[in-house]
Copies of this chain bind each other. A is one copy, B any other.
Amino acid sequence: MTKPRVLIIGGGFGGLAAAQALGRRAVVTVVDRHNYQTFLPLLYQVSTAGLAADHVAYPIRGALRDIRGKFRLGAPISVDHKNKNVKLDSSEILDFDHLIIAMGSVTTDFGIPGVAEHALGMKTIQEALEIRAEVMRRFEDLCRFEDETRFSIAVVGGGPTGVEMAGALAELVRGPLRNDEEHAARHIDIILIEAGPRLLPMFDDSLSQKTKLALEKMGVKVLVNTAVKSVESRKILFADGSSTPSEVTIWAAGVKGNPDMEKLNVPIVGNRVDVEETLQVRHYPHIWAIGDIAGAKGENGKFLPMVAPVAMQQGRFVAEQIIRAEKSAPLKKFVYKDKGSMATIGRNKAVVQVRRIKFSGFLAWSAWLFLHLFYLMGGRNRIGTIADWFWNYLTFDRGNRHILDSIND
């Protein structure tokens, strides 16, 4: 039996999990516009000078070596459903027997004006370096002013990403920056803005309250029930007519399926690819969708959360279904096994919820640390990350405070 040719668009958590699960049972090709996987859950630590940018990236070719998979740098521009091939922006045409759409998500502004122009996203390493550079530049401005001028950094979105970002910013400002120049650091305000009634809405209410209190204790101003109406330069306007100054606005309010999926001409439902319970794209049995871009629903009838564990489980699931389909075996329905949620707030502080079990504090923080190291691909990144974390923890310092974005050469 010849091996099926499986083309995977997207080398994130889902795409690489699928590739590795297929292994050498298929001829695998992964396409991505970056030659590396971005370890998104740790991106906020790059923004806040905790980790080296290179250490939250992992070469996709490195992940494909063992399975002898191919890689192509680029993005799809069209699909030929009849002849089963995808054309890339390099003009190369790749044939497939099975196509896996794993293109992930992009920041969404929910149509709120000014977000694209005045807020910084949190989806790419370049964006993370831009946030780091902006924060450090504002800090240097304050150091020069030596007066009572204040600067505000606002994080919009009270989910895990926003909470982790706000907490890490508070630690950066109150730790290393205060050691650098105390007067300036004391003039930086950090604001976390959530439209809903509480932070971390997917967690138990008691953990939401603990998180809010912990952040406030760290000096973060937490605004709940506060919907953003528009973002302007150095200012955020709220739905109730009030506003807050914000020199750096970080947008962690939400993501939506990558709109590039439209180029693949597949049915879309609510910004995601419409899939059957088997994760086959509706009407296209040889095309599959996984991860943030897949419109799979949970038991409650709602879309599954856009998180790495869903993508990885779906990637492994689809790999098995493709092998079954090749053998003409009946396909299964995907069921997400929710292993729980966690968010880190700061040093020794995190919240964890696994079904009915919930805990916080040092134990939760240790669990967070262990799991993120475990999921971090590649020994080098693991060693480098341990080294940086160990150093940061012992010295209360953050060594990667460099202004290193494209503006600055």
Instruction: List the number of copies, as a whole number.
Output: 2
Q: Does A300 contact B (CB under 8 A)?
A: no
Q: Does A212 contact B (CB under 8 A)?
A: no
A247 to chain B, nearest CB (A): 16
Distance in angstroms between the alpha carbons of A57 and B53 in the assembled complex: 12
Name the residue on B nearest A404 (C-beta).
B125
B409:A35 contact, CB within 8 angstroms:
no
B380:A391 contact, CB within 8 angstroms:
yes
The A82-141 residues at the B interface (CB cut-off 8 A) are: 90, 92, 124-127, 136-137, 140
Distance in angstroms between the alpha carbons of A347 and B399 in the assembled complex: 28
Residues on B with C-beta less than 8 A from A403 are 34-36, 73
Residues on B with C-beta less than 8 A from A180 are 59, 61-62, 65
Residues on B with C-beta less than 8 A from A380 are 387-388, 391-392, 395, 397, 399
Known A-B contacts A379-B391, A384-B387, A384-B388; A402 and B52 likewise in contact (beta carbons under 8 Å): no
A-B contact pairs, 29 of them (CB 8 A): A34-B402, A34-B408, A36-B402, A36-B403, A52-B384, A53-B53, A53-B54, A54-B54, A54-B399, A57-B404, A58-B399, A61-B401, A62-B180, A70-B143, A72-B144, A73-B144, A90-B144, A124-B409, A125-B402, A125-B404, A126-B404, A126-B408, A379-B395, A380-B387, A380-B395, A381-B399, A383-B391, A384-B388, A406-B406
In the complex, given contacts A35-B140, A61-B180, what are 4 additional A-B residue pairs having Cβ atoms less than 8 angstroms apart? A52-B55, A92-B144, A380-B391, A383-B387
